[in-house]
Amino acid sequence: MIAYAIYFAAGCFGLAFLMNLWKIATAEGVGDRVLALDTMVINAIALMILYGLANGTEIFFEAAMIVAMLGFVSTVAYARFMLRGNIIE
Amino acid sequence: MEQVLDLLITFFLVIGGVFGLVGSFGLIKLNDPMSRLHAPTKATTLGVGGVLIASMLHAYAYEGHLSWHELLITLFLFLTAPITANFIAKAHIHRHETPGTLPLAGGDRKWATHDIPPEDQEAASPADRG
């Protein structure tokens, strides 16, 4: 039962990932692209945790944590660049 | 007991997957940049939260100990999602809105992104003053 639920959730997040890629390719503004990139990072975290769940290992939590932090920092840097034109003043 | 935990794990996985999908679908479907901000920041965060809770329960059911790593990731995501949303909204106000197109901020000043403090008035370009 759990195996099928994991497949279902992985399918949902994979589809969501493709939708984000589509949005990045077709968005008309920079803000939308940054938002889609941020969502893509969150979906990647979910996929990573699902992979760890399916294989029964805990090694992917650290990777997910690092990806979460990098995603946050990169989104803030992008938004900062849109707002100011440079990142570190 | 095992059966109940299995059901709970399945429930959280399905809920998480559906919310993740809805969040990314909203990013495509909604037609205004500021409404598009709502779907990923709220629904997707909830979806990842559901998957993380399922992972916690899975560790408790099959490895015999409750793991707290997942709670750490959940907490981090719940803290950072509003911050990124706020940053993207500020960038949108800076690039696409003028003081005329926004509702009044209240008081006798403008929104913080457009407002130039009195001590910086001379340094600002004439177009930004006003």
Q: Distance from A26 to chain B by nearest Cα, in Å? A: 10
Q: Distance from A45 to chain B by nearest Cα, in Å? A: 8
- Can you tell me the distance from the alpha carbon of A80 to that of B90, in angstroms, rounded to the nearest whole number? 9
Test A13 with B10 for CB contact under 8 angstroms.
no
- Can you tell me the distance from the alpha carbon of A69 to that of A73, in angstroms, rounded to the nearest whole number? 6
Q: ipTM more than 0.90?
A: no
- Can you tell me the distance from the alpha carbon of B50 to that of B38, in angstroms, rounded to the nearest whole number? 18
Per-position pLDDT tens, chain B of length 130: 788 999 999 999 999 999 999 999 999 988 888 888 888 888 999 999 999 999 999 988 888 888 788 888 889 999 999 999 999 988 888 888 777 777 777 777 777 777 777 777 777 665 555 4
- Write out the DSSP string of A54-83: HHT-SHHHHHHHHHHHHHHHHHHHHHHHHH
B116 — alpha (psi -120 to 50), left (phi > 0) or beta? beta
Model pTM score: 0.86
DSSP state of A44: H
Residues of chain A found within 8 Å of residue B10, distances taken between Cβ atoms: 1-2, 4-5
Residues of chain A found within 8 Å of residue B78, distances taken between Cβ atoms: none
Q: Distance from A88 to chain B by nearest Cα, in Å? A: 16
- Write out the DSSP string of B46-101: HHHHHHHHHHHHHHHHHHSS---HHHHHHHHHHHHHHHHHHHHHHHHHHHH--TTT
Test B84 with A79 for CB contact under 8 angstroms.
yes
